[in-house]
Structure 1
């Protein structure tokens, strides 16, 4: 049984498709409080995470993604960003978190855009 804390318009307002990935990430909830999460999908304007812990909705958090190198996917690059949490859903024993990018540095945005292109076009 799913516990849905979704607002009616959260998912349907996406402007572009999300692309599936399976990357590690670390979310900073408060100074000194970090949790490991998994990136499940991403888009140019948003990100989806999986977490063992609930994340406060309508909050802004810093996170660091472990993004694979485009040439050698075994090497991970630490990519910092900030996200706004839009929704939180309990599904199959894990929290699914969706959000929008609040801030990405130009190099981080470029790398994520390159990954989206790679996933989209192969």
Structure 2
């Protein structure tokens, strides 16, 4: 019998589909799609294999600086990267959390 895997995330994730730039240190940047992100890391679409432990740099939408990161995993065209330093998400364009819906209200006709 398989033991269920419990995800233990350090920070909440924000689902998104914006583009960012990715490059190996000193390499040419490529555009890739962000699937979700948090202050500590990012999940990207990555059609090319990125071995775990590979050091990369990410430039987020609306940012000018490159953020150093490390590949944690790669599977089925996706990769998980951990930032070297926590990212300030409110300053990343496209990383806004979706609005929380208010309570449902009954409206008479």
Shorter-normalised TM-score: what interval? 0.5 to 0.7
Runs of 4+ more than 6 Å apart: none
Judge conservation of contact 1:23–1:65 (CA < 8 Å) in 2.
Answer: no
1:89 matched to 2:75? The reply is: yes
| Other-structure match for 2:28 | 33
- Cα displacement (A) at 1:120: 5.1
Q: Output the TM-score relative to the length of structure 1.
A: 0.62
Judge conservation of contact 2:73–2:80 (CA < 8 Å) in 1.
Answer: yes
* Structure with bigger RCO (C-alpha 8 Å, 6+ apart): 1
- Cα displacement (A) at 1:52: 2.0
Specify which structure has the higher proportion of helix: 1
The alignment covers a number of residue pairs equal to 94
Judge conservation of contact 2:25–2:57 (CA < 8 Å) in 1.
Answer: no
Deviations 1:60-102 (A, max 9, x none): 2111122xxxxxxxxxx23531212111111xxxx10112211
| Other-structure match for 2:82 | 100
| Other-structure match for 1:70 | none
Specify which structure has the higher proportion of strand: 1
Judge conservation of contact 1:58–1:84 (CA < 8 Å) in 2.
Answer: yes
- Cα displacement (A) at 1:115: 6.3
| Other-structure match for 2:42 | 47
